Amino acid sequence: MIRSINTLLVPIPTIREHKLACTVMREQVLVLVHIQTEDGFEGWGEATTIGGLSYAEESPHSIQTNIDTYFAPLLLKEQPTSTAKAMQLLNLHINGNRFAKCAIETALLDIEGKRLNLPVSELIGGRVRDRIEVAWTLASGNTETDISEAKQMVEQKRHRIFKLKIGSNPIIDDIAHVLAIKQALPDCRITVDVNQAWTELEAMKGIALLQTGGIDLIEQPVSMRNKAALKRLKEHFDVAIMADEVVQDPQNAFLLAADHCADVFAVKINQAGGLKAACLIGQMAHLAGIELYGGTMLEGPIGTAASAHVFSTYPSLNFDTELFGPLLLTEDVLVQPLDYQNFGLNVPTGAGLGIEVDSDKVYHYAKKAVISASSTHHS
């Protein structure tokens, strides 16, 4: 029996500004769900989004409101006896809200894993790898800063795959920035994320230059609404074209896979609507011969651990992952931080998510945020 469901907003500053085509981030608001059961188990889930409402249609505040108003009362009233039944119930009564559903499912799987003394990866298909390579996003907006940051990462054996966020500057400037970084790091794999910023014509021009410059992967160059353009770009260029924002839920992924619209799928557990949905997308891509990339919503350590469990089950993960979210934050909410070393992340092996959340710290931060928000409203 579920005893309580708490949703907490925990704002944590980032170690530096993080620039995307749609916004600039200086802090990340972690949306954490804490579920406790009558028999003494607790589970944690995370529904973190990027940049408030500038990236997707759910925001930290809408997720919290919807879970508190609709999800929690429904689950407490119906008391589903398994995670699968809980998700079926939510999908029956609540439309959309993929991020919120993901957080609830993660917390319930965390509890189920602890109860059975199994890692979450074994509840969702079984892991085939214990370690995943992690890319780092260079998004300071300054070429020299990015190059020195990347060189430092390689030296410290933290990252050797780099992703560049472009799309907010004129194309020629963006390409010059990317190619300067590629030249400075000839042995590193470089991915470019345009965050849907280009038209198809701009993409034709931009990708041609990037391909010649030896870039390895181009992420979501055009609007998610223009699947046909994505497909044309994929057919026109040799460099791998990756679908991200357009992948979303399994239904969308199925249509993209059936129409061969991309070479690679970026999968994000929140965007997919949960861990099992993200596993399903991985299986579909695999069946369609589409490569996989483990994406991030820049989640903190809870969502990152959950993502790692999912990506550990993928039959192949040739484009690796970008689960660097916790490394971008100035504070950790775990008792023992996630194990990043040797260019990757070791997938937690303990029961459930295999992590221990510092709940005193989390509740303290959440409370502080509520107090500062209410004082801002009254001033």
Which amino acids are annotated catalytic?
165
Q: d(Cα 29, Cα 148) in Å, to the nearest integer?
A: 28
Distance of CA 320 to the CA centre of its chain: 13
Phi, psi of 242 (to 5 degrees): -110, 135
Q: d(Cα 372, Cα 349) in Å, to the nearest integer?
A: 37
The length of the chain is 379
Residue 119 gets which letter from DSSP? B
Return the number of other C-beta atoms located less than 10 Å from residue 242's C-beta. Answer: 26
Residue 359, both tokens: 């709940």
- β-pairing verdict for 240-243 and 24-37: unpaired
Phi, psi of 2 (to 5 degrees): -80, 130
Positive/negative CA dihedral, 155, 159, 162, 165: negative
Sheet strands (E) in the chain: 2-19, 24-37, 42-46, 131-133, 136-138, 161-165, 189-193, 217-219, 240-243, 264-267, 291-294, 340-341, 344-346
Residue 217, strand partner residues: 191, 240
Cα–Cα nearest to 242, from 205, 192, 287, 281:
192
